[in-house]
C-alpha cells in the first residue's frame, strides 16, 4: 500500500488513520507513505511507525510567477521519483488524499514497469475537491469522499478518516477524569475554544473579550490559543469559574471529554473529529479560500449538530449572548449533542481501508493470472 497525502495535517492525519486501519485489518500489510521534506509527514509518519519516502514537492502557485513556469519540470521530476518508489515496493494500490504528493502519485501509477498500471483509490476530505484529486479522479478505480458532492463524479460517501483514539472516545465515561485534569468542577459547563495547531486570532479576541460575561454566567473555558499567541485576560475574581488558557492541547481526547460545546474552525479534520466524538460546535469558517470550510460544516449544521458564524460576526457580544445562552439551555444543548454524534462517521478509516484492500487484492489476482 502506498499512501499519498503529505503537506498539511489535513492530508497526513487521514492517511495515518487509514494506515492504522489497514494494519488492524491485515497485520502483514506493507505500507509506504509519500511525502516531501517540507511537510508535517517528516515528523508524523515516522512517529507512527510507517516507512516514508520523500519526493520533490510540486505545489501549484496561487499567483502567476516564475514558480508557475518551473511547475511542469517539478511535476515530472516528482513523477519519476514516485514511479521508482512504486516499483521498488511492488505497490498493489495507491491511496491518495490530495496535497503536494498526490498528483505525482496519480500520474506515476499509470505506468511503473512493463506498462503496468497501479490502481488508485482517492479520498477527498473537503466539501470542495482540490485540483490534485480532480485530476486523479478521472482515472481512479474508486473515489471516496466526506460529502456527497465535493466536485468529483461517482463518489462513495464514507466520511473523513479519524484516528482510533478519537473514534473510540466515550466522552461521558471520561468526563470526570477530563474535568479534573483541567481543574474544572464535575458539574461545570465547559466551553472549548481552539483554532487548529497555531490558534486563530479572531477566535482568541472574541472569546477572551467575553471572559467577564462567560464567568458571570458560570461558564468555564478551556482555550487553546496557539503557541505564538497570547491572551489578554482580566484578573480572575473570587468565585469565578476557571478560564484555562494554554498554547496547545496535547490531549485532545480529554479536551473533547471535558467540553459541552466548542468554538472552532471548520477544516475537514476538525469537523470530522468533533462530530466523531459527538460534540456540538459553533463553527467559524476560515474567511479565505474557496469557502470550503463553510461547506465542510454545513451538513452538521443542517442536521442540528452545530451553528455556523462568519469570522467577522464572531464578536465578544455574540459569545456573551448567543454562546452563553446555548450553554445554559440544557434541552437544546442535549439535542445538538445527539445530532452531532449522528452526523459523524467514526468508521471512515476502516471503510477506506476495506476498499483499498479489496482493490489491491483484485489487482494482485489479475497480475497472478497473467
| pLDDT for 68 | 57
Work out how many domains the chain is built from and give that number: 2
| pLDDT for 112 | 67
Q: Is the pLDDT of residue 257 over 70?
A: yes
Reported confidence tier of residue 250, pLDDT bands at 50, 70, 90: confident
Is residue 218 a known part of a binding site?
Answer: no
Calculate what percentage of the chain has a pLDDT beyond 70: 94
| pLDDT for 274 | 96
Q: Is the pLDDT of residue 116 over 80?
A: no
Domain range for residue 131?
Answer: 2-162+347-369
Is residue 198 a known part of a binding site?
Answer: no
Q: Which residue has the cell 459523524?
A: 344
Per-residue pLDDT tens for 46-95?
Answer: 999 999 999 987 666 555 556 656 667 778 899 999 999 999 999 999 99
Q: Both 300 and 356 in a single domain? A: no
Residues comprising the chain, all counted: 370
Is residue 293 a known part of a binding site?
Answer: yes
Report the pLDDT averaged over residues 145-155.
92
Report the pLDDT averaged over residues 317-327.
97
Report the pLDDT averaged over residues 253-279.
95
Q: Both 214 and 226 in a single domain? A: yes
Q: Both 297 and 180 in a single domain? A: yes
| pLDDT for 238 | 82
Q: How far is CA 35 from the centre of its chain?
A: 17
Report the pLDDT averaged over residues 105-133.
87
Would you say the C-alpha torsion 265, 270, 272, 274 has a positive or negative sign?
Answer: negative
Q: Both 189 and 311 in a single domain? A: yes
Q: Both 179 and 87 in a single domain? A: no
Is residue 230 a known part of a binding site?
Answer: no
CA angle 262, 264, 266 (to 5 degrees): 125
Reported confidence tier of residue 292, pLDDT bands at 50, 70, 90: confident
Report the pLDDT averaged over residues 2-25.
91
| pLDDT for 291 | 82
Q: Both 150 and 175 in a single domain? A: no
The residue among 370 and 188 whose pLDDT is bigger is: 188
Model pTM score:
0.85
| pLDDT for 363 | 87
Q: Both 118 and 83 in a single domain? A: yes
Q: Is the pLDDT of residue 232 over 90?
A: no
Q: What is the CATH number of the domain that holds 134?
A: 3.40.50.2000
Per-residue pLDDT tens for 347-362?
Answer: 999 999 999 999 999 9
**What value does the mean pLDDT of the chain take?**
91
Alpha helices in 89-228 (DSSP H): 102-108, 131-136, 164-167, 171-182, 201-209, 211-216
Is residue 32 a known part of a binding site?
Answer: no
Is residue 208 a known part of a binding site?
Answer: no
Q: Both 28 and 154 in a single domain? A: yes
Q: Both 102 and 211 in a single domain? A: no
Is residue 236 a known part of a binding site?
Answer: no
DSSP notation for 87-108: HHTT-S-EEE--STTHHHHHHH
C-alpha cell at 349: 478509516
| pLDDT for 197 | 59
Q: Is the pLDDT of residue 171 over 90?
A: yes
Q: Both 195 and 238 in a single domain? A: yes
Q: Both 133 and 180 in a single domain? A: no
| pLDDT for 236 | 78
| pLDDT for 67 | 60
Helices 330-343 and 268-276 sit at what angle, rounded to 10 degrees?
110
Q: How far is CA 47 from the centre of its chain?
A: 18
| pLDDT for 186 | 95
Reported confidence tier of residue 110, pLDDT bands at 50, 70, 90: confident
Q: Both 140 and 285 in a single domain? A: no
Q: Is the pLDDT of residue 113 over 60?
A: yes
Amino acid at each position: 500500500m502506498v499512501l499519498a497525502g503529505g503537506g498539511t495535517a489535513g492530508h497526513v492525519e487521514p492517511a495515518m488513520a487509514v494506515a492504522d486501519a489497514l494494519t488492524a485489518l491485515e497485520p502483514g500489510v506493507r505500507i509506504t507513505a509519500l511525502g516531501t521534506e517540507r511537510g508535517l509527514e517528516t515528523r508524523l509518519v515516522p512517529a507512527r511507525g510507517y516507512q516514508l519516502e520523500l519526493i520533490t514537492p510540486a505545489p501549484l502557485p496561487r499567483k502567476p510567477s516564475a514558480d508557475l513556469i518551473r511547475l511542469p519540470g517539478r511535476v515530472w521530476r516528482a513523477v519519476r521519483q514516485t514511479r521508482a518508489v512504486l516499483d521498488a515496493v511492488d505497490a498493489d494500490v495507491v491511496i491518495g488524499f490530495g496535497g503536494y504528493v498526490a498528483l505525482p502519485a496519480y500520474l506515476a501509477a499509470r505506468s511503473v514497469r512493463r506498462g503496468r498500471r497501479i490502481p488508485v483509490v482517492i479520498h477527498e476530505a473537503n466539501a470542495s475537491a482540490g485540483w490534485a484529486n480532480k485530476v486523479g479522479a478521472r482515472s481512479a478505480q474508486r473515489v471516496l469522499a466526506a460529502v456527497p458532492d465535493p466536485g468529483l463524479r461517482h463518489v462513495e460517501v464514507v466520511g473523513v478518516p479519524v484516528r482510533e483514539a478519537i473514534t473510540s472516545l466515550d466522552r461521558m465515561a471520561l468526563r470526570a477524569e477530563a474535568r479534573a485534569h483541567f481543574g474544572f468542577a464535575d458539574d461545570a459547563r465547559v466551553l472549548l475554544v481552539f483554532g487548529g495547531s497555531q490558534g486563530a486570532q479572531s477566535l482568541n479576541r472574541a472569546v477572551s473579550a467575553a471572559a467577564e460575561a462567560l464567568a458571570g454566567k458560570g461558564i468555564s473555558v478551556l482555550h487553546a490559543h496557539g503557541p505564538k499567541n497570547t491572551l489578554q485576560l482580566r484578573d480572575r475574581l473570587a468565585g469565578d469559574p476557571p478560564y484555562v488558557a494554554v498554547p496547545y492541547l496535547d490531549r485532545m481526547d480529554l479536551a473533547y471529554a471535558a467540553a459541552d460545546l466548542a468554538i472552532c474552525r471548520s477544516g475537514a479534520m476538525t469537523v470530522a473529529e468533533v462530530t466523531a466524538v459527538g460534540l456540538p460546535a459553533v463553527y467559524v469558517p476560515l474567511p479565505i479560500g474557496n469557502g470550503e470550510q463553510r461547506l465542510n460544516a454545513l451538513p452538521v449544521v443542517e442536521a442540528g449538530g452545530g451553528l455556523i458564524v462568519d469570522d467577522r460576526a464572531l464578536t465578544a457580544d455574540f459569545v456573551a449572548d448567543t454562546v452563553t445562552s446555548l450553554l445554559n439551555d440544557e434541552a437544546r444543548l442535549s439535542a445538538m449533542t445527539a445530532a452531532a454524534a449522528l452526523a459523524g462517521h467514526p468508521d471512515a478509516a476502516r471503510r477506506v481501508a476495506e476498499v483499498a484492500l479489496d482493490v489491491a487484492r483484485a489487482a494482485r489476482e489479475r497480475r497472478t493470472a497473467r
